[in-house]
Amino acid sequence: MSAAVDPRTGEALPLVAADSTEEEIDAVCARAERAGAELAAIGRYGRAGMLEAMADALEERRDRLVETADRETALGAQRLGGELTRTEFQLRLFAEVLREGSYLEAIVDHAGPTAMGPRPDVRRILRPIGTVGVFGASNFPLAFSVPGGDTASALAAGCPVVAKVHPSHPATCVLAHEALLAGAGASGLATAPVSLVFGVEAGAQLVGHAAVRAVGFTGSLAVGRLLADAAAARTSPIPFYGELGALNAVVVLPAAAAARAEEIGHGLVASFTLGVGQFCTKPGLVLVPRGVGGSELVEALVSAAGAVPAGVMLGPSIASRFSERVAEIAASPGIAVLARGGSPTLEGSASGTPAVVRADVGALRGIVLEECFGPMLVVATYDGAGELATLLDLLEPALTATVHAEPQDEGEARDVLDTLVARVGRIVWNGYPTGVAVSWAMHHGGPYPATTSSLHTSVGATAIRRWLRPVAYQDVPEQILPEELRDFPGAGASVPRRVDGMLVLPG
């Protein structure tokens, strides 16, 4: 495994570990299967306590984690501190999910006569799928990596995790792993429920390992597609839940442009340059109406973007790819560069300079409509609802779409929403897509190529559903059923259920 690089200086950081061997991966996966038995044995309430203990252990190491992650990613202490808080919140949210219990989708159909004849006693519940492989993201070392939503939701489901260490922040991965193990140990687990593997080959072997039953991935389309194909090509194919990123469009309707041109322009700049544009939900395209309001919006956007200095990106390779992509788009027919940000503040750093380009309608194709990881925004103008509909039809699926509208735009907004709902997993109204709330209702996903499964989310309470599979018990004696399926479950096992077609709540 090659050493990580300090993005601010380009200097190699100390090597954290050698690549995992095939024998080590076998041992890790065998240990994970033993941990799965322990996670089942401690039950929902035991796992809830474990997740909370993990959150406590991460908090105890806050200063070291933030310092280490900042050295490896240059994301800054403030951003990383907020990210760690988010991760701790996710762990505690899944503790609530476990105690509440509706995620189990418990259903009881008693034996009896039906219009189709006698029905047997059938009871259904969700059970853990097994060991989960997790591939973290370069841009979220504390929220989408060894700790984070995939790991938290998998552990909550009762699935042990084998995490592939990200090469851009390995020391952060190791330190976070120590915290998770401390939390597990404090909860009485004897076997580590989270393990690490190192190296590119180890990642490929993890996806193909017989003990791994599902994979969560956050990263590029190219790598994600390779791994998704490998998961599907196994002798026993497994689910691969990849979040691959996308161009996220913002639609500004005429009355909104007239009423809030400067506000929207400044808000867009704050959003597309946030974290040096290294968010999967970064707005990549804004559609603006022709006219006075639209022109004022673009002027505000260009003025604000030109004042944003270049920022340090996650590493030299990412900064280089961003620079090459901007140059390629800028040289495309029908493209005009409207604004470039300020100069880098650190000599030799892996920097990314904000860019705003205008695209003619005929230029909206190819790489112009692909995700550009970094602080670049494409502006296109439309003349009337018909031309806007034509532009919307050009869009590929994405994680989000944003609409800025005023009450006067309501009729047009309905048509726009109808189009966008078929293409994205989250609609943002009069806001900005960067920032994904951790909540019960959140959906962070979208049709391919945004993700490999539009049915599921990687953020929010229902992220747990990816790591569960349904099992139906037919005429099984009640005393050996899962307690949540018995006619009179104990207080700790009483969960929301559907009994003979009727929703029944505890109590």
| Residues taking part in catalysis | 243, 280
**C-alpha closest to that of 6 among 404, 416, 312, 417:** 312
**C-alpha closest to that of 373 among 54, 139, 152:** 139
| Residue type at position 457 | T
Q: Please give the C-alpha separations between residue 202 and each of 5, 93, 164, 258, 267, in angstroms, as whole numbers.
A: 21, 31, 7, 54, 42
- Cα angle at 470 between 469 and 471, to 5 degrees? 120
Give the E-state strand segments of 295-354 in sequence order: 311-312, 335-340, 351-352
On the 0-12 / 13-18 / 19+ scale of CB atoms within 10 A, 310 is buried
Torsion sign (Cα): 176, 89, 401, 398: positive
Q: How far apart are CA 170 and CA 202, in angstroms?
A: 14
Chain center to CA of 304: 29
User: Bridge partners of 163?
Assistant: 134, 196
Q: Please give the C-alpha separations between residue 257 and each of 253, 260, 408, 469, 498, in angstroms, as whole numbers.
A: 6, 5, 12, 47, 48
User: Bridge partners of 355?
Assistant: 340, 376
Phi-psi domain of 19 (left: phi exceeds 0; alpha: psi -120 through 50; beta: other): beta
**C-alpha closest to that of 396 among 446, 360, 358:** 446
Q: How far apart are CA 341 and CA 201, in angstroms?
A: 39
By the 8 A CB rule, do 460 and 440 touch? yes
